[in-house]
Chains A and B, each alone.
Chain A
Amino acid sequence: MEIILAIVIGGLYAAGIYMMLRRSMVKLLIGLALLSHATNLLIFTAAGLTRGTPPILSEFEPGPSTPFADPLPQALILTAIVISLGVISFALAMAFRVYRTLGIDDLDKISPREKSE
């Protein structure tokens, strides 16, 4: 299972970086989204995949029965997903603003204007 996930994560990173290297601003944002998905899966995998019981204490048992799943990485991923939702939506709004003010979607055309000023 780890191997499959590792391949998936690698693929997501590769696709994300490939998209970010394109010129289009929209593709850049798709790349960023893929990158954050890859990172979330990476946390999930790196923290160890456990097929087990939920880590919940009951009144009758002294401790959770082993092996139990580690809840912390999932909490981290949840937080990261929420943050990336906010960030990506901000970036989308900004890309739209760039398109509206400059009329371009091409990142290469942004920087030469910078230099010529």
Chain B
Amino acid sequence: MTANILVLPLIIPLATAILTLVVRNNIEWQRRISLLGAGALLISSIVILATVNRHGILVLQIGNWEAPFGITFVADLFSAIMVTLTGIIGISIAFYSLGTIDREREAFGYHTFFHLLLMGVSGAFITGDIFNLYVWFEVMLMSSFVLLALGGRSKQIEGAAIYVTLNLISSALFLAAVGLLYGLVGTLNMADIARKMQLVAPPQSYPILTAVAMLFLIAFGIKSAVFPLFFWLPASYHTPPPAVSALFAGLLTKVGVYSLIRVFTLIFIHNLSFTHNLILIIAGFTMVTGVLGAIAQGEIRKILSFHIVSQIGYMIMGLAIFTPLALAGSVFYITHHIIVKTNLFLIGGFVEHLKGTGDLKKLGGLYRQRWVLGLLFLVPALSLAGIPPLSGFFAKLSLVQAGLSSQQYLIVAVSLAVSLLTLFSMTKIWNEVFWKPEPETVSGDDHLFSGSTTGVRTRWLTWLVPIGTLAAITILIGLGAGGVFSLALRAGEELMDPGGYIRAVFGG
């Protein structure tokens, strides 16, 4: 009955969301409940990771309906790692929100939708049913729509309009793909689909299976912002308050990447030479266009948004190479990326908070005033570029090794060149924001924070704790890279062995 813990990452955020609604008139209590809920989510996710690590894949048949008739929740190592990351990001953002989200937004349900979003994300990571995955996507999207548009002035509403439209198109495609797949194999349980594909799918049905695979690729590709479907991301991620954009940057696109990896390691492995080569090409272009887009930008969070796109390329590069080592590289990269990227957005958002603008031209001299922040920025920034001994170096190293050992020299060259450009971009932010002398006239619009009434002292703690903790985790992943990598390698091996997943779901 240990498998019952799999419902905790869903129940806890749901209960928290409901409780924050119950006390919606009392913002102080909302904050306490929100912190408590995020803490409980982190603890439950760590318990799940520890259990999966010790006992192997956890499977829960909801309502005791045997697979494939009911909905199945499955946590293999990859899912468990993702849920744990959700927990870490959840508590960091809950803490950071205390000082940077204004009372107006809190009164209109910021905390509620924050936890509903966490529920959607965890659900997507844990479910073993493809239609259920669609439902969790919708839960997540609805809350993200609200968070993105909540309390918005014109700029934010514009970003939301683009985001909502593109995501709705992606959902429609995803649903169509699910329907077609059901028509072909007659089941929705992912393990059962994989089993039927292995046993029955005759070679003459491959073209139509590949067509369905492409529908999934486009649907998840829009969500994870790969080339050429990423334009919505840089147009919307810099508009909401820093806490929300950090949350989105850390988690949302990674749900798309997770689904891509899940579907293209478990289900669509019948035509590797076509599908995975296509993913490889996409990965290369995603890296390059993302990083080139970032160079042209002049605002902190816009630069960082383009870097998300570029980093997505690395994650699916591991999927495309399709060896245990490469998938381990992907898992490691996702782990590193979620923590580092969230942290960069938290820092970028805090700089905007301090100075009222994110425009590099108007910023400067911050190192003199806030040297702690400057040093803390260097940790994730250098990690993102892949400087040893930080987490990014080992993530890139494992991908490069995987690429070399399967003779994909071109993509390795691209990925190395892109990381040089990433370093350039990060030093640009460092120079402009922290190092160069402050320009004389600073005029900015601080409408994002106009409603904030919290004292300066609380703000000091609320930014230092999450940013410092995430930076510490980045360093720890770098120093303990061996342990994290062996975990990632086991996750990669599990992903490459769909048989194990199928056996776990069907109990023997």
Q: Measuring CB to CB, which residues of chain A are less than 8 angstroms from any residue of chain B? A: 20, 25, 28, 32, 35-36, 38-39, 42-48, 72-73, 76, 79-80, 83, 86-87, 90-91, 94-95, 97-98, 101-102, 107, 110-111, 113-114, 117
Contacts and interface: CB of A to CB of B under 8 A. Distances in A.
Contact of B158 (A46, A95, A113): A113
Contacts of B161: 25, 94-95, 98, 107, 110
Given A43-B182, A73-B179, A94-B145, A87 B138 contact: yes
B165 A101 contact: no
Contact of A98 (B138, B157, B175, B180): B157
A83 B138 contact: yes
Contacts of A72: 182, 188
Contacts of A46: 179-180, 182-184
A32 B169 contact: yes
B164 A39 contact: no
Contact of A94 (B149, B171, B180): B149
A45 B176 CA distance: 11
A76 B164 contact: no
B160 A94 contact: yes
B136 to A, nearest CB: 11
Interface magnitude class on chain B:
20 to 34
Contacts of B146: 90
A28 B158 contact: no
Nearest to A90: B145
A69 to B, nearest CB: 14
- Which A-B residue pairs are the 6 nearest by beta carbons? A46-B183, A43-B179, A35-B172, A39-B176, A39-B175, A83-B138
Identify which of B154, B158, B178, B180 gathers the most chain A CB atoms within 10 Å of its CB.
Answer: B158
B153 interface: yes
Contacts of B393: none
A48 B178 CA distance: 14
| Majority secondary structure, B binding face | helix
B183 A97 contact: no
B140 to A, nearest CB: 12
23 contacts: A32-B172, A35-B169, A35-B172, A36-B175, A39-B176, A42-B180, A43-B182, A47-B182, A72-B182, A73-B182, A76-B178, A86-B142, A91-B165, A91-B168, A97-B149, A97-B157, A98-B158, A101-B152, A101-B153, A101-B154, A102-B154, A102-B158, A110-B158
Contacts of B168: 32, 87, 91
B88 to A, nearest CB: 29
Contact of A76 (B160, B162, B179): B179
B155 interface: yes
Given A25-B161, A43-B176, A79-B135, 17 more contacts: A20-B165, A20-B169, A32-B168, A43-B179, A43-B182, A44-B179, A47-B179, A72-B182, A72-B188, A76-B182, A90-B142, A90-B145, A91-B168, A94-B145, A94-B149, A102-B157, A111-B162
B165 A28 contact: yes
Contacts of B172: 32, 35-36, 39
B235 interface: yes
Nearest to B174: A39
Nearest to A115: B235
A101 B154 CA distance: 6
A42 B215 CA distance: 14
Contacts of A98: 157-158, 161
Interface in B114-164: 131, 135, 138, 141-142, 145-146, 149, 152-155, 157-162, 164
A95 B171 CA distance: 19
A48 B183 contact: yes
Nearest to A37: B172
A70 to B, nearest CB: 8
B157 A94 contact: yes
B155 to A, nearest CB: 7
Contacts of B145: 90, 94
